[in-house]
Structure 1
């Protein structure tokens, strides 16, 4: 495991136990973002970097009992918290790195990634791996329940021009990974970039 991975694991292991109590009001924002994926009953979807699985109930509602919901995360403590919260009933939890997913090529209809983009060790490669597991025309939603400016203010920092989530940076990054960005919203109460898998 690389040094980056160890750092990401340490960061989230330390926060896993009280993660949900720190952000209790995100449910509606998650549901609204997932609604934009327009998943149909029977669809298959991956929550990449699922953490404690906060998106899994809404993803399950969207795809119904016949659909497939997967939640992949690198940090065992996060998946344990997801199980304690009962979210393993909504989706199949995988201890896996988004850089090397244990999934067959072109098997998914969509990928949902909440707060994912800032934690990718190699964004272009990682986004290409997400593309690999999605069928042509499938969707990617990169979500955060708070916009870039509001998040920076909360963390006592400024947004910098090299922020990967800036529209001018994210569009080309996605394009270089085989995704076409179709919409981009960065408001105080949410960040949501949607993309379609090309080819």
Structure 2
């Protein structure tokens, strides 16, 4: 496991226990983000980098009892927090690296990824792995409950020119990774980039 992974695990591991308490009002934003995927009953969906699993109940509701929901995260402490919150009832929790997912090619209808892209050590390669596990025509939602400017302000920073989430950077990154960006929203109350897996 490389240093990038160790850093991510240490960062989120130390914050897992009180993560939900720090962001208690994000639930409706997650539900609205999931709704944009227009999932159907019976679909199979992955929450990539699921953290404490805040999207899992909305994903379960969208795919219904016949659907399949997975939540994958690199950090055991985050998965433990998800289980303590009862979110393991909404989906199967996997301790897994999104760079090497334990899934067959084309197994998923969609991937929901909240706050993930900023933590990918090799974004093009990692997004290509997400494309591998999604069927042609399947979807990817890159989500954050607040937009880039609001997030930068929260951390006392300016938006960087090389921010991967900026549309001029994100569109070609997705394209080289097997995705086509179909909608892009970056406002104070939500960041959402929707992409479709190429044929």
Q: Does 1:54 align with 2:54?
A: yes
Paired positions, count:
199
Aligned position for 1:145? 145
Alignment partner, residue 183 of structure 1: 183
1:76 Cα deviation from its structure 2 partner? 0.4
The CA RMSD over aligned residues, in Å, is: 0.4
Partner of 1:41: 41
Aligned: 1:105 with 2:105 = yes
Residues 36-55 of structure 1, C-alpha deviation per residue, up to 9 Å, x if partnerless? 10000000000000000000
Partner of 2:117: 117
TM-score, structure 1 as length reference: 0.99
Deviation at 1:160, TM superposition (A): 1.2
Q: List 4+ stretches of structure 1 deviating above 2 A.
A: none
Distance 2:32 2:52 in 1: 19
Q: Aligned partners of 2:160, 2:115: CA distance in 1, in Å?
A: 17
Alignment-derived partner of residue 159 in structure 1? 159
- Following the alignment from structure 2 to structure 1, what is the Cα–Cα distance between the partners of residues 159 and 9? 25
Unaligned runs of 5+ in 1: none
TM-score by length of 2: 0.99
